[in-house]
Structure 1
Amino acid sequence: MATEEKKGGLWETIKTIVYALLIAGVFRTLLFQPFWIPSGSMKDTLLIGDFLFVNKMAYGYSYASCPSVIIPSVGINVDAQDLCGWADGDNARLFGGEPQRGDVVVFRHPVSGRDFIKRLIGLPGERIQMRNGVLHIDGQPVEVTPDGTFEELAAPQGPQGLRPRCANGTVGDGATCHKEKLIETLPGGVSHSILNISMQGSDNTPVYTVPEGHYFFMGDNRDNSSDSRVPSIANGVGFVPYENLIGRADRVMFSSAGRSMLYFWTWRSDRFFEKIE
């Protein structure tokens, strides 16, 4: 009798785990996807260690809405393409909604399939160019106004131990790293912060004409971002197909300044439920 009860209890535990995984899978596929910011390409809008949920209902659903489970340390590499590749190829979405210029969007990289987060800058059919560090859309410069200086500690950041680049040169650990901060106002009125480190190649680009059904993305940390200014075949992002959009990032839930989100003593008290502008 005791053996039967033990088997029954084990079976109930297994069922509970399976149901919990199914519910979590549906939640992540249809509603919200967790995302932890791994790099500084979106500073100072998003910091390394910010934890947020991506609104997957904002743009409808495509093959990219299926979750990817990638845990290299234990050899798990289940890609959205593996689960929902049958829905790939038509650049369409179910219950599709149009993204708006200025949205902060999580999308699948067109080549690697990895999740990226950048700001939507260029819409289909538009001509995008950087001239002397100023964004031009269809030949017109956007409005840019100075907004002081962004400061951070010059030290390894996040689980990858990434060091920030500084406008005040190479500084040692513990020193203050400076970047020029500006407010950029896009056509349509969306204003957001961007950072400038120095004049470099990505500040002067050719004219990029965004194909139909695609979008052009850039990081807010303009001199430290791999984005649509570089073709995807050259380790950039290039133009992103509509079907590769995963969702919109609306709010930071919490933020960890340490090597792990579990190090609660390193959580940034000023970033709880911070609205993403």
Structure 2
Amino acid sequence: MTAPFAPRAWRMLRHDIAPFLIVVLLLTVARSSFANHYVVPTGSMEYTVMPGDRVLVDMRAYGWRVPFTGIVFAGRAEPNRGDVVVFDSPLDGTRLIKRVAAIAGDRVSLRDGHLAIDGVALGDGGIERFDANEAHLNLDRGGGLDIEGLVVPPGHALVLGDHRGDSLDGRAYGLVPNDAFHGKAFAVYWRRGEGPTWQAL
């Protein structure tokens, strides 16, 4: 005689489905709080990352967040110049990847795609040097919109694409609040057309 349907269903839920749901939940929490990956959709960050690249994102870089919320409960940190960050576009909510070009207190000048902070140029030719890394710019479409005399206020950052003439960035949607950054991209682990790779950002 077979067991009644209700007890069998409960046993199946408890032994088969519940552990699966717990694993899915833990993985989702880990991705929202610890590390995640991102597929680069456009060429706005050439030559640092290319369309189709897959990058790893440290979701703890700017603080530990309550999963599925924007609430930071520990370790709040500010972005640094040169960080490659992932955030949602202030225009339409699209997930973006850009470089932090200037932080609070910086006076920004951007001419023909070349960045200067407090009157000091960050590079020459197609390379800009930040505190801990450098950006290899793509200027094949010019430098895009210029900036003159912008002072970044507290709690905000100016983000730019490394493909200065082909990037919808802070010149279009303004400064981004620091707490809007989901995380810091730290490496390319897959390059379209090449496969597995490791390129620190």
In 2, the alpha carbon distance for the partners of 1:275 and 1:129 equals 27
- Residue equivalent to 2:82: 102
In 2, the alpha carbon distance for the partners of 1:102 and 1:227 equals 15
- The two structures have a TM-score, normalised by structure 2, of 0.86
Report how many aligned residue pairs link the two structures.
198
- Residue equivalent to 1:74: none
- The two structures have a TM-score, normalised by structure 1, of 0.64
Aligned partner of 1:34 among 34, 37, 46: 37
Q: Would the alpha carbon gap of residues 12 and 20 (structure 1) be closer, same or farther in structure 2, given more than 3 Å must change?
A: same
Q: How does 1:1-277 map to 2 (within 5 A)?
A: 1=2, 7=9, 8-9=11-12, 11-62=14-65, 66-67=67-68, 84=69, 87=71, 94-145=74-125, 182-186=126-130, 188=131, 190-199=133-142, 201-202=144-145, 204-230=146-172, 232=173, 238-257=174-193, 268-269=194-195, 271-276=196-201
How far 1:142 sits from its partner (Å)?
2.1
| Backbone CA RMSD of aligned residues | 2.4
How far 1:138 sits from its partner (Å)?
1.6
Q: Would the alpha carbon gap of residues 198 and 47 (structure 1) be closer, same or farther in structure 2, given more than 3 Å must change?
A: closer
In 1, the alpha carbon distance for the partners of 2:74 and 2:90 equals 19
Deviation readout 1:139-172 (Å, 9 max, x if unpaired): 2222213xxxxxxxxxxxxxxxxxxxxxxxxxxx
**Gaps in structure 1 of 5+ consecutive residues:** 68-83, 146-181, 233-237, 258-267
Q: Would the alpha carbon gap of residues 45 and 200 (structure 1) be closer, same or farther in structure 2, given more than 3 Å must change?
A: closer
In 2, the alpha carbon distance for the partners of 1:121 and 1:219 equals 9
In 1, the alpha carbon distance for the partners of 2:55 and 2:112 equals 33
In 2, the alpha carbon distance for the partners of 1:110 and 1:93 equals 23
Q: Would the alpha carbon gap of residues 99 and 205 (structure 1) be closer, same or farther in structure 2, given more than 3 Å must change?
A: closer
In 2, the alpha carbon distance for the partners of 1:199 and 1:272 equals 30
In 2, the alpha carbon distance for the partners of 1:122 and 1:205 equals 12
Residue 18 of structure 2 aligns to a residue whose secondary structure is helix
In 2, the alpha carbon distance for the partners of 1:31 and 1:192 equals 26
The 8 Å contact of residues 110 and 244 in structure 1, kept in 2 or not, is answered as no
Q: Would the alpha carbon gap of residues 189 and 31 (structure 1) be closer, same or farther in structure 2, given more than 3 Å must change?
A: closer
Residue 74 of structure 2 aligns to a residue whose secondary structure is coil
Question: Taking every aligned residue pair, what percent have the same amino acid on both sides?
Answer: 30
The 8 Å contact of residues 93 and 243 in structure 1, kept in 2 or not, is answered as no
In 1, the alpha carbon distance for the partners of 2:12 and 2:27 equals 23
Structure showing the higher strand proportion among its residues: 2
**Gaps in structure 2 of 5+ consecutive residues:** none
In 1, the alpha carbon distance for the partners of 2:55 and 2:29 equals 18
Q: Would the alpha carbon gap of residues 20 and 49 (structure 1) be closer, same or farther in structure 2, given more than 3 Å must change?
A: same
How far 1:58 sits from its partner (Å)?
1.4
Deviation readout 1:182-201 (Å, 9 max, x if unpaired): 22123x36322111113364
